Each structure stands twice: as structure tokens, then as C-alpha cells.
Chain A
Amino acid sequence: GENVEQHPSTLSVQEGDSAVIKCTYSDSASNYFPWYKQELGKGPQLIIDIRSNVGEKKDQRIAVTLNKTAKHFSLHITETQPEDSAVYFCAATPNRDDKIIFGKGTRLHILP
């Protein structure tokens, strides 16, 4: 089955700097890679996703990149702001009826 590894587990960056979170997956059949943001006491919220036929996707300050050959994908947050502080999860899924596999999460701290 699919296995998703996520690094780092904790990340602190200065406000205004960029943050990068990286994930690797094991199942080459995986073709959809969402990212979630979880604020304290709330459920994770989908913030951006990428499919296997796309190498990069951007939405304002957030971008995701995918390298299918190497089986890794990354989340990039530029010009970080205090409200970016949260736990971020990557995930991978091969098809509709397979369960979504999550990474263990990255706690991002934006330092003033």
C-alpha cells in the first residue's frame, strides 16, 4: 500500500521568508496529491492540490511541485504571514476507492 513521508516535523521561519515542506510517496499509482492546513482545534482544510499530469501549481503565495519520477512533492509558501502558522499535512491517493494516505504533518511557526 501507499506510504507517505513528510519532512520536517517542525519548521520555524521568520515572517516574510519562505517555507518549504517536502513529502515522498511509495506507490507509483498515486495520481492525486492534496495539501491540508489545520489550525488549532479545527479540522484540516484543503488548501491546494496537484494531479500527476501537472508538475507545478500556484495559488497566490502557495505553490506545489510534483516530481513523479522521484516520487516527491513539495509545498512552498512565500512571503509568510502570522496566519500561516498551523500544521500542514500532505497526502496521496491512487484512485477513487482507495483511502487517502496522509503524512505525519509539519508544524509551521511564523516568527515575528
Chain B
Amino acid sequence: SQTIHQWPATLVQPVGSPLSLECTVEGTSNPNLYWYRQAAGRGLQLLFYSVGIGQISSEVPQNLSASRPQDRQFILSSKKLLLSDSGFYLCAWSVLVSAFFGQGTRLTVV
């Protein structure tokens, strides 16, 4: 069966520090991969999605970036965090159409 791993679960980082969130999927090949951000009590904002290794589409201008170094690995990064980067970050994967989410990372920038 397929599983998705996202870590860490919580993270507190100072303003200006770098960020790296990692997501890996097991049990499937060539999935579509997604990074979403969710502000408190709000909807799902799509940040990046990828249909293959090295293929990244960015949905909103920001100081975040994403990379897909391997088929089932998706990384969200920032060189310098802003206060506004605080939120709940979710990784998801899909094959065909159904999407499945990780458990999320709650990032607090202080």
C-alpha cells in the first residue's frame, strides 16, 4: 500500500533562517506531488506541484521554492523565512486523480 511521510511535524524557526521540509512517498511510481499551505482556519493554498523529477510548477510568488530530486521525494525550501511564512504545510501525492495528504508540518516563524 502507498504511504506518505512528511517531517517534521512541528517547527519553530526565527525570522531570516532557512527552511527545509521533506516529503517522501512509498508504494507508488511517478506520482504527482503537491505542497499546500493552510493558514489558521483557512483553505488550502497550492504552492507547488510536480508531475515528474525536476518538473516544478509554482502557483504563487513567494520566497519559497520546491525541488524534486527523486521520483518520490519533494522538498520545500526557503533561504530566509518571513513571519508571514507561518502556517500549516501539507504535502500530497496523486496517481490518476485521487490525492492523499501527509499529516502536515506546523511552522511557526518567530
Measured CB to CB, the residues of A under 8 A from B are 32, 34, 36, 41-46, 49, 89, 91, 93, 95-97, 99-100, 102-105, 107
A44 contact from B94, B101, B106, Cβ within 8 A:
B101
Residues of A within 8 A of B49 (CB): 99
Q: Are A89 and B44 in contact (CB under 8 A)?
A: yes
Q: Are A46 and B98 in contact (CB under 8 A)?
A: yes
Which of B43, B57, B96, B106 has the most CB atoms of chain A within a 10 A radius of its CB?
A: B43
The reply on B87 being an interface residue by CB < 8 A is: no
Chain B: interface secondary structure? strand
**How far, in whole Å, are A99 and B96 apart by their CA atoms in the complex?**
11
CB nearest to B10 among chain A residues: A41
**How far, in whole Å, are A44 and B102 apart by their CA atoms in the complex?**
8
Residue pairs across A and B with Cβ atoms less than 8 A apart, 28 shown, are A32-B98, A34-B97, A34-B99, A36-B101, A41-B104, A42-B103, A42-B104, A43-B90, A43-B92, A43-B101, A43-B104, A44-B90, A44-B101, A46-B99, A89-B43, A91-B99, A95-B97, A97-B51, A99-B34, A99-B46, A99-B57, A100-B92, A100-B94, A100-B97, A102-B43, A102-B44, A103-B43, A104-B43
A43-B103, A95-B97 given; name 13 further pairs at CB < 8 Å: A43-B104, A44-B90, A44-B101, A49-B98, A89-B44, A93-B97, A96-B97, A99-B57, A100-B34, A102-B46, A103-B43, A104-B42, A105-B43
